[in-house]
Structure 1
């Protein structure tokens, strides 16, 4: 395997990781948006705040990793995509920034009007960012961008892009609901467990329908992608995603524990991997191959080394953070905890 092919596979894995990790937070924002008014949506939003707080910022590590690999390992690909897709990617970036600001500022704001404004910014941005990221991916998958092609709205506003965007929104909603249903068990909230489990099943059903429609659209609108998804590794991963969908539905009908989280991640992760491998040997079908887009050999070799270092040092730390979060070991201090700290040492506890 050449260095360019290896780095391209690392890039695809990073995109899949961001889809699953960051997508869980986007999905939580989707359910925040649809939770209803202040009274009706109070408890779902309470769970969303508590579940997201420990890890929402670290999920952007995967996005940064994607961008670094793109502009250093495949500069022609980076320039082509960001030139042709500057509008949807700019809107997605604005959404990411506003989403973070809205989530961070909503909880400490005392005035109800301010909390509503920040909450709306967080929720709406969580809907728009995955849609525009998915639309950009659809433009790439359909081969509508390429070196030397003038940027046009048609590059990202086309049938494949629209359905990719919708798949991104519904897929992240599925991940968010599955993870929140499991978190509800951890927080001892059976009403919220049932609430999010029902929404996870609904999102799974919509995702299955959208997936079938998207495949039909790709058959006519993105023939190279269709061929890759109906043959070889792309077909294997697509079948894996379909099987994981069925397993997730079965698990959600029974309970919403750790295994439903795993199966939901497999649904989305294998779908992203199927898309990437279906395009081989292209980064942009019919326009730009992996070899043509690759940077200098020395750059690729250094990227391999940096990736190896990240695998040894960074990824285990991120995995440990997720593990501690799912076990509930990262609970924030409450007012009662702080008051106990102000009370001084317990009798016999030393100075």
Structure 2
């Protein structure tokens, strides 16, 4: 029975799900730091941080879950990808540390020193977001492997396409955050976020278009895969992306609170799905597939049994946290 189940595929789906949850949930609270420079009022900044104060650290559970799952199920991929992306990932970690410390210290700082922690929050959010995008761009560009070891340079990430992907993710997270704040705030702050969201949407649409053409130009096999092999699927995704962008634009103009955020989530999901389909079944593009990088079946099965207990618990406390702290956040609502 166990032999007939492809555990590598199951683990790939679990890891993709965990990383998608991280992009969505930590994306909008990292985006708050990116938007901080556009909001000067101290009380409005307090409100922005209080919209995620009860849940931000729980959101980061998903990246820990994804990394641990990859280590258990695909140790070769974990080792090679970590070595290839060592510098960007260390910078991501540094940004998350700056941001986390600033999150806690800002609320306890004096009026004279609060600006220091605001700057740390902005810098940490930008650093973590930008280098997440750089890591993603480097991964998509391909990682050199020889004899089951990383065969590239530690500076492969220092190239135009990964750096462009870093900027693209900054815009994506900023749009996630601005539409999140439409749900969680009111008054002048909500109005500012509505006015910021529309140009961010247009900028993201441009970035998506450039990324598609750039990827196709650099990876002819990927372009042929979509156009020749899966033209209908690719066309459907493009149509859905256009519908999502139209939904965001129209609901912003009609002052909806929740639908713009839903539209942005759909855009993010479509981009993530397109990436996953384009690279499948390679876990280390362009040449190492899931089965070549997988751990022994016994190890995968043992870890899967534990995951089946842990994953529902993570989902349950995540949903419960957002349910308990639902509703608008206003000036004077305290973070403890």
**TM exceeds 0.5?**
yes
The verdict on how the C-alpha distance between 1:314 and 1:132 changes in structure 2, with shifts beyond 3 A counting, is same
Map of 2:25 onto structure 1: 21
> What secondary structure sits across from 1:283 in the alignment?
strand
The verdict on how the C-alpha distance between 1:238 and 1:82 changes in structure 2, with shifts beyond 3 A counting, is farther
Map of 1:221 onto structure 2: 218
Map of 1:130 onto structure 2: 129
> What secondary structure sits across from 1:255 in the alignment?
coil
2:143 aligned with 1:158, yes or no? no
What is the aligned-residue RMSD (CA, Å)?
A: 2.5
> What secondary structure sits across from 2:286 in the alignment?
coil
198-207 vs 294-303, greater mean Cα deviation:
294-303
The verdict on how the C-alpha distance between 1:312 and 1:333 changes in structure 2, with shifts beyond 3 A counting, is same
Once the two structures are superposed, the pairs formed by residues 256-271 of structure 1 within 5 Å of their partners are 256-271=256-271
TM-score (norm 1): 0.85
1:224, distance to aligned residue in structure 2 (A): 4.2
1:261, distance to aligned residue in structure 2 (A): 2.0
For structure 2, the residue ranges without an aligned partner over 5 or more in a row are none
- Is residue 92–residue 129 contact of structure 2 (8 Å, CA) maintained in 1? yes
Map of 2:183 onto structure 1: 182
- Is residue 143–residue 286 contact of structure 1 (8 Å, CA) maintained in 2? yes
Map of 1:62 onto structure 2: 62
Once the two structures are superposed, the pairs formed by residues 142-157 of structure 1 within 5 Å of their partners are 142-146=141-145, 147-157=148-158
The verdict on how the C-alpha distance between 1:127 and 1:330 changes in structure 2, with shifts beyond 3 A counting, is same
1:164-195, Cα deviation, whole Å (9 max, x unpaired): 2122111000000001122113xxxx211110
223-232 vs 102-111, greater mean Cα deviation:
223-232
- Is residue 33–residue 124 contact of structure 1 (8 Å, CA) maintained in 2? no
Separation (CA, whole Å) in 2 of partners of 1:162 and 1:334: 38
The verdict on how the C-alpha distance between 1:310 and 1:259 changes in structure 2, with shifts beyond 3 A counting, is farther
Map of 2:116 onto structure 1: 117
Map of 1:342 onto structure 2: none
1:100, distance to aligned residue in structure 2 (A): 0.6
Map of 1:280 onto structure 2: 280
Separation (CA, whole Å) in 1 of partners of 2:104 and 2:264: 27
1:288-316, Cα deviation, whole Å (9 max, x unpaired): 10111111111222333233223433212
The verdict on how the C-alpha distance between 1:249 and 1:61 changes in structure 2, with shifts beyond 3 A counting, is same
The verdict on how the C-alpha distance between 1:23 and 1:234 changes in structure 2, with shifts beyond 3 A counting, is farther
1:262, distance to aligned residue in structure 2 (A): 1.8
2:4 aligned with 1:4, yes or no? no
2:174 aligned with 1:170, yes or no? no
Separation (CA, whole Å) in 2 of partners of 1:320 and 1:329: 18
Higher RCO, Cα 8 Å, sep 6+: 2
Separation (CA, whole Å) in 2 of partners of 1:91 and 1:256: 37
1:329, distance to aligned residue in structure 2 (A): 9.5
Map of 2:138 onto structure 1: 139
2:193 aligned with 1:196, yes or no? yes
Once the two structures are superposed, the pairs formed by residues 71-82 of structure 1 within 5 Å of their partners are 71-82=71-82
Separation (CA, whole Å) in 2 of partners of 1:80 and 1:91: 18
Map of 1:346 onto structure 2: none
Q: Which runs of 4+ in 1 moved over 4 A?
A: 227-231, 233-239, 328-335
Once the two structures are superposed, the pairs formed by residues 326-337 of structure 1 within 5 Å of their partners are 326-327=326-327, 334=334
Instruction: Mark the structure with the bigger radius of gyration.
Output: 1
For structure 1, the residue ranges without an aligned partner over 5 or more in a row are 339-351
1:225-272, Cα deviation, whole Å (9 max, x unpaired): 444555545664454334322211221121241222222212112211
1:68-107, Cα deviation, whole Å (9 max, x unpaired): 1111111111110111111011001111111111111111
> What secondary structure sits across from 2:283 in the alignment?
strand
130-139 vs 239-248, greater mean Cα deviation:
239-248
